[in-house]
Structure 1
Amino acid sequence: MRQPELVSLPETDGTGSSTGGIRSLLTRDLRRPTLVLWGAFFLVMAAFYFVTSWTPTLLVEAGMSSTQSLTGGTLLNLGGIFGTALLGALAARYALISVLRTYLFVAAALVMAFANSTDVLTLAFCVGAVIGVAVNGCIAGLYALTPGIYPARLRATGVGAAISVGRVGAIIAPSAAGWLLDADWTPLALYVATGAVFAAAGLLLLAMRTGQRPKKASPVLEPASSAP
């Protein structure tokens, strides 16, 4: 085929195929986004699992019947289906990290409002369904955001580490809620505190530098090498 004979393979610098451990996620260029992600995953998954696991119980504590509380929990879970779909639609037009921040602040406001809406059954159910939209979108947004932060060789490590930190929050939150109830915290106080956790995650993501708005749904952070 008139091609020159291949005598030897070209040398490589080894960067394309190498993999890195946790230390590679904490280098100068990646330290800030990594720590922000870990904090966000911890806070969001803690708040998410509190809301999804304790809502029926706390609705009973607030005066609803068992049937009504189960209905509220079901509506919250059903809202999650729409939350993920809506996040994808919005991320196709706007920067994903901006959409995620909006979800977090909306979730914070709704969770706080929910605690004050239990006296009106219909209102509580409506707010609960919209909370499902928001909190599930927060989780989906973090999962979508994380891979785009790291170069290919560190992507699996970065995603796995962030999820692992989040799982710690998911384990702690339900138990912590039980301890706080035993310490005479009211459902209102717990939901206000949980709303504050969502808000804290949104504020934390403000430390993440963003790039230009994408044309398609994709993570939109500046390349890791440009982070301060």
Structure 2
Amino acid sequence: MSGQVISEGMGSIATSRAAWAVVGLCMLFNVIDGLDAMAMAFTVSRVATQWALNGAQIGLLLSASLVGMACGSMFAAPLADRHGRRPMLLASLLLSGVAMVLSFWSQGLYSLVCWRVLTGIGVGAVLVGANVLTHEYAPPHRRGLAIALQSVAFALGATLGGALAHVLNDSVGWRYVFLAGGGLTLVAGSAGVLWLRESPVLKLDRPGMEYRHLFNDGHWRWTLSLAGVCFLLMFGFYFVMSWTPILLTQGGFSEHHGVTGGMLLTVGGMLGALLVGLAANRCGCHRLLLGCLLLDALLLVLMVAATRVPVLAAVAGLCAGLLLYGAIAALFVMAPQAFATPVRTRGVGLVLATGRLGAIVSPTVAGVLLDAQWSVQDLFLFYAGSQVLAGGLVLMGFVGVHIRYFGNG
């Protein structure tokens, strides 16, 4: 009997180690995703100068990968429900890696836009697949932390992108940021080929489980509410993440200060996502999400005034990243819980794809408003309003309170 107990205990430890190995690989993929997704934000100032781009063209360039991410979340990632999480993740890493490498040879605005769209398709599919696979592998009592760590990894990747840009922009040029990112993406994909495992709960013989099932039996209200919050959150998030470096530069700071400001956002983001993961079980993700959204709105109102003092600018950037990534981590923990296993990737993909729509229009709207002579303060007030609206959806009980209705699958 004691030998059996010991054997079962060792099996449990081995299973736990295997689960966290998969979670670790998903973190690696999210690091790469963060680098690939945010590389443009850290190089756009150099690209805009070299190619004499106006505000609307800069916005188009910043939005290109987001268009791809929406397509990847909506159409590519759901293939994982049919063919498996592992093949989808590996194919998506290959796509984004090759597209990043080819961005190195872009000869003008529209060729770079094309490669950024393809990069985004891979990034969007990886984000959904890694989120779902982490949910399905992580121990239930550590699931919130494991998923929040994926957001930490994304922020780490964005910080790495900023560091690469800081070093490479001056030494060899902005193109090498994309070349280095593509090489790292392909290396991460190779690691996945060797060590990534398939989901332990996925069954591939589930015909007929399509998007329409997300709207059956009253589910539509909760599906749409999650998607609405994600749209508004990403609308504010990508304005702050994409435009802060260049707005700081245009406001009189050096280009290095602009890149540093972007990196501070992601450093704060890592801390915010980690804190949400640690507090998720105790405080409830819907409360954490609401708090992050409302505090972020307040901070955006004060952001422009804070940037006039270097120390306050650094603190504001750190706090903005903390709150934005904290809100995203809370939403990412909630999303896979909302859908049963057969449609989980589709459900998470739909929510994140809707968020990408907000992200797509966000930088372009900012560029158009700047061309229309809006002040930077007006822009931050406008985007603060999006976070208040998202908080209103959460406060009205559309998200979080009814999460149990879906079942955990």
TM-score by structure 1 length? 0.81
**Match of 2:404, SS?**
coil
- Larger helix fraction of residues: 2
Is residue 322 of structure 2 the alignment partner of residue 133 of structure 1?
yes
User: CA separation in 1, counterparts of 2:267 and 2:234?
Assistant: 18
The residue matched to 1:103 in structure 2 has which SS? helix
Farther-moved stretch of structure 1 (188-197 vs 66-75): 66-75
Give the 5 Å matches for 1:191-210.
191-206=380-395, 207-208=397-398, 210=400
- Answer yes or no: is the 8 Å Cα contact 2:286–2:400 preserved in 1: yes
Counterparts of 1:34 and 1:160, CA distance in 2: 11
Unaligned runs of 5+ in 2: 1-204
| Alignment correspondent of 1:39 | 228
Give how far 1:19 is off: 5.2
Residue number in structure 2 paired with 1:163: 352
Q: Which deviates further from its counterpart, 119-128 or 61-70?
A: 61-70
CA distance in 1, matches of 2:399, 2:263: 37
| Residues 261 and 314, structure 2, Cα contact 8 Å, conserved in 1 | yes
Quote how far apart the aligned CAs of 1:130 are.
0.8
Q: How big is the alpha-carbon RMSD for the aligned residues of Structure 1 and Structure 2? A: 2.0
Equivalent residue number for residue 68 of structure 1: 257
Q: What are structure 1's unaligned runs of at least 5 residues? A: 1-15, 212-219
- What residue number does 1:185 align with? 374
DSSP 3-state at the match of 1:205: helix
Aligned position for 2:361? 172
Partner residue of 2:243? 54
Is 1:78 the counterpart of 2:260? The answer is: no
Partner of 1:89 in structure 2?
278
Tell me how far apart the structure 2 counterparts of residues 74 and 150 of structure 1 sit (CA, whole Å): 34
Counterpart secondary structure, 1:185:
coil
Q: Which residue of 2 aligns with 1:104?
A: 293
The aligned counterpart of 2:405 is: 223
CA distance in structure 1 between the aligned counterparts of 2:207 and 2:394, rounded to whole angstroms: 29
Could you tell me which amino acid in structure 2 is paired with residue 71 of structure 1?
T
Residues 80 and 135, structure 1, Cα contact 8 Å, conserved in 2: yes
Displacement of 1:18 after TM fit? 5.5
Q: Aligned with 1:223: secondary structure?
A: helix
In structure 1, what residue type is equivalent to 2:287? S
| Aligned mates of 2:290, 2:303 — CA distance in 1 | 20
| Partner Cα distance (1:160, 1:210) in 2 | 18
Identity percentage of aligned residues: 35
- In structure 1, what residue type is equivalent to 2:405? P
Matched-pair contact (CA < 8 Å) for 2:226–2:399: no
Of the structure 1 ranges 59-68 and 76-85, higher mean CA displacement relative to structure 2 is found in 59-68
Deviations 1:31-77 (A, max 9, x none): 11111111111111121111111001112333333333222222111
Asked whether the 8 Å contact 1:115–1:192 carries over to 2, the reply is no
Whose relative contact order is higher, 1 or 2, with alpha carbons under 8 Å and at least 6 apart? 1
Letter in 1 for 2:403: L
State the alpha-carbon separation in 1 of the partners of residues 374 and 314 from structure 2.
23
| Cα distance in 1 for residues equivalent to 2:228 and 2:405 | 20
For 1:189 and 1:84, the matched residues in 2 are separated by 28
Separation in 2 of the partners of 1:84 and 1:145? 13
User: Relative to 1, partners in 2 of residues 1:208 and 1:191: Cα closer, same or farther, differing over 3 Å?
Assistant: same
Distance 2:228 2:361 in 1: 14
- Give per-residue Cα distances to partners, 1:76-133, cap 9 Å, x unaligned: 1111110110111111311111111111111111122112212211111111111111
CA deviation after TM superposition for structure 1 residue 25, in Å = 1.4
The 3 A distance-change label for structure 1 pair 224 and 92 is: closer
Q: Are 1:123 and 2:312 matched, yes or no? A: yes
Letter of the 1:103 partner, please give it: C
